[in-house]
A and B are shown apart, each in its own frame.
Chain A
Amino acid sequence: MLTKRIIPCLDVDAGRVVKGVSFLELRDAGDPAELAAFYDQQGGDELVFLDITASSDSRDTIVDVVQRVSDQVFIPLTVGGGIRSVEDVRRMLKAGADKVGMNTAAVSDPKLVKDGAAAFGNQCIVVAIDAKRVGSHHVGSPHTSTDLALDEGSKWQVYTRGGRTPTGIDAVKWATRAVELGAGEILLTSMDEDGQRTGYDLELTSTISETVPVPVIASGGAGELDHLYQALDQGKADAVLAASIFHFGTFTITQAKDYLKQKGVHVRPTYVAPE
């Protein structure tokens, strides 16, 4: 039976893992390769690297990071952040990434999703969506493709540029379009819940997961192990992404899997190598 996936996400700035990763076991908690191996041993099912490098001079360092990690860790790697062209996708895949995440570039240039999928297959194109509940807050300028625009029934708006820019696009419509264009997976982050540690946005997650025919990774809001369970159960997610609950050592991935297993969720058991 297909198992639900637990995916730690690492932010990388100029080749170093940032955002308060602290483990006594590690010699160098900023080293992406060492952290990747650590999560692999704990039973992480995949790894996501998010390149948050601001300076263009240091942009190429992510290629080196992907190479070093994929030389040592034999589980799937997704790389996101700063992907703007089919050539960027090719570079990441060549460096050892299995999937490439696109967020802002996919919204501003949907052809990139289409061309990337045509060139390398849908399975390697992950469209990342940052969604925020539509409320009294500012609604972005109407998007040019009006069929994706927010309407009275819209519940979540798509934001780009690291959550800074509202787009006026309905998140559910965009998810559907992204899959039509060639996305093989959706990485869905609730901006309302991200960093709150009070649980994933279950309504958002289940709505998108039941709408699109491809796997959905839930992200944003994990603070307790039960939140992971809720995202997979009520949220109908195929995978859960988490950063801080693992990085700060609050829980290990092994603990998360034990908890989920006891709740009746199918997770991959940790493999013990023969001899």
Chain B
Amino acid sequence: MKLVVIDYESGNLRSVSRALESHGVAPLVTDDSSNFDDADAMVLPGVGSGPAAMDALRQRKLIDPIKNFIASGRPFLGVCLGLQLLMDCTEEGDEACLGVVKGSAKHLPSGLKVPHMGWNSVRFQHQHPVLDGIPQDSYFYFVHSYYASPEDPAGISGTTEYGISFCSIYAKDNLIATQFHPEKSGPVGLRFYKNFVSLAST
């Protein structure tokens, strides 16, 4: 299987790779879109600022190749910022994003500690194969200041409470994205990657 992890200098890619490797996949960590054509699956990780991430993707000419990959129907996983970037735009610097999912990324409500940092539970709203074997209300590790707000509730597979209830898992067909970091969420997070690898191998 050929699985690409997009490298645009955004945070800890090593843990993403190791989590995939623990399920027998040797990911190709790359910023070269010529590797996308024959890839079976893609992971878009990311931490930090949305506008900076969009700049980094633009500079590497990755925006259209990523959108084309998602449109092709192959399994795609966005992590953290990788979920927010799927939206039309983000309040963070009023930046246009990939526009794959209708909606926007918004700042967490004031009056709370931001970043939202630590382990929080996820309420599954509907089943998706990427959630197989993971108990309802499992805890995952979050660290973010913005959250994705998709317009269409059909893709919202998991929600989490932090002042508000927000979309913590988006999963619709081949398009999967999480606000939390499964690669930092212990055994339950590794199970999530295992499910994603299974999807990518079928």
Q: Which residues of A contact B (CB under 8 A)?
A: 1-5, 40, 45, 67, 70-71, 74-76, 93-98, 120-124, 184-185, 213-215, 238-239, 268-269, 271, 273-275
Q: Considering only CB atoms, which chain B residue lies closest to A76 in the complex?
A: B184
Interface-located stretch among B70-78, B118-126, B150-158, B169-177? B118-126
Q: Provide the residues of chain A in CB contact with B184, threshold 8 Å.
A: 74-76, 98
Return the contact of B113 from the options A75, A93, A238 (Cβ within 8 A).
A238
Which of A74, A97, A122 is the one whose CB lies under 8 Å from B186?
A: A74
Question: Which residue of B19, B115, B186 has the most chain A CB atoms within 10 A of its CB atom?
Answer: B186
Task: Using CB atoms, name the residue of chain A closest to B143.
Answer: A123
Q: Is the CB of B113 within 8 A of A215?
A: yes
Q: Which residues of A contact B143 (CB under 8 A)?
A: 76, 98, 123, 184
Compute how far the CA of A76 lies from the CA of B186 in the bound complex, rounded to whole angstroms. 9
Q: Nearest CB to that of A185 among chain B residues?
A: B117
Tell me which of A214, A271, A275 contacts B139 (CB under 8 A). A271
Given the known A-B contacts A3-B120, A121-B11, A123-B48, are A40 and B114 also in contact in the complex, defined by CB atoms under 8 Å? no
Contact between chains at B114 and A3 (CB < 8 Å):
no
Report whether A268 and B139 are in contact in the complex, using a CB–CB cutoff of 8 Å: yes
Report whether A275 and B133 are in contact in the complex, using a CB–CB cutoff of 8 Å. yes
We find that the number of chain B residues with CB closer than 8 angstroms to chain A is 40
A74 near B145 (CB under 8 angstroms)? no
Residue in contact with A2 in the complex, picked from B14, B145, B162, B185, CB distance below 8 Å: B162
* Least CB distance, B118 to chain A, in whole angstroms: 5
Give the contacting residue for B114; candidates A4, A214, A275; CB below 8 A: A214
Asked if B119 and A45 sit within 8 Å, CB to CB, the answer is yes
Provide the bound-state CA to CA distance between A26 and B162, in Å.
Answer: 38
Q: Top 4 A-B pairs ranked by shortest CB distance? A: A121-B48, A96-B14, A268-B119, A274-B133
Mask: chain B, 176-188; 1 = CB below 8 Å from A; 0 = not = 0000010111111
Smallest CB separation, B100 vs chain A (Å): 22
Given contacts A93-B11, A121-B47, A123-B47, contact A271 B187 (CB under 8 A): yes
Chain A residues lying within 8 Å of B191, measured Cβ to Cβ, are 273-274
When the two chains form their complex, are residues A2 and B187 in contact, meaning their CB atoms are under 8 A apart? no
A–B Cβ pairs within 8 angstroms, 10 of them: A1-B121, A2-B116, A74-B184, A74-B186, A94-B12, A97-B12, A122-B145, A184-B115, A184-B117, A268-B139
**A252 smallest CB distance to B (angstroms):** 17
Q: Are B186 and A238 in contact (CB under 8 A)?
A: no
Q: Which residues of B contact A76 (CB under 8 A)?
A: 141, 143, 181, 184
Looking at the assembled complex, report how far the CB atom of B41 sits from the nearest CB atom of chain A, in whole angstroms.
Answer: 20
Give the residues in chain A near B187, CB-CB below 8 Å.
74, 271, 273
B118 & A3 in contact (Cβ 8 Å cutoff): yes
- Give Cα distance in the complex from A152 to B65, angstroms: 60
In the complex, what residues of B have CB within 8 A of residue A67's CB?
14
The contact string, 1 if C-beta is below 8 Å from chain A, for chain B 87-116, is 000000000000000000000000001111
Q: Which residues of A contact B201 (CB under 8 A)?
A: none
Measured between beta carbons, the chain A residues less than 8 angstroms from B114 are 213-214
Q: Are A214 and B118 neighbours in the complex by a CB distance under 8 Å? A: no
- CB closest residue in chain B, given A120: B48
Cβ of B32 under 8 Å from chain A: no
Additional pairs, 9, CB under 8 Å, beyond known A121-B11, A213-B113: A2-B142, A4-B118, A5-B119, A45-B118, A74-B185, A76-B184, A93-B12, A98-B11, A238-B118
Chain B, residue nearest A43 (CB): B186
Evaluate contact between A123 and B144: CB separation under 8 angstroms.
yes
Check if B2 is an interface residue, CB within 8 A of chain A: no
- Are B14's CB and A95's CB within 8 A? yes
Q: Are B12 and A96 in contact (CB-based, < 8 A)?
A: yes
- The residue among A67, A74, A122, A213 with the most chain B CB atoms within 10 A of its own CB is A74
Q: Are A1 and B183 in contact (CB under 8 A)?
A: no
User: CB of B49 within 8 A of chain A?
Assistant: yes
- Smallest CB-CB separation from B184: which chain A residue? A76
In the complex, B128 has a CB within 8 A of chain A: no
- The answer to whether B14 and A214 touch across the interface, beta carbons within 8 angstroms, is no
Given contacts A40-B186, A274-B133, contact A121 B120 (CB under 8 A): no
A185–B188 CA distance with the chains assembled, in angstroms = 25
Contact A1 B113 (CB under 8 A): no
The answer to whether A70 touches B18 (Cβ under 8 A) is yes
Q: Is B15 an interface residue (CB 8 A)?
A: yes
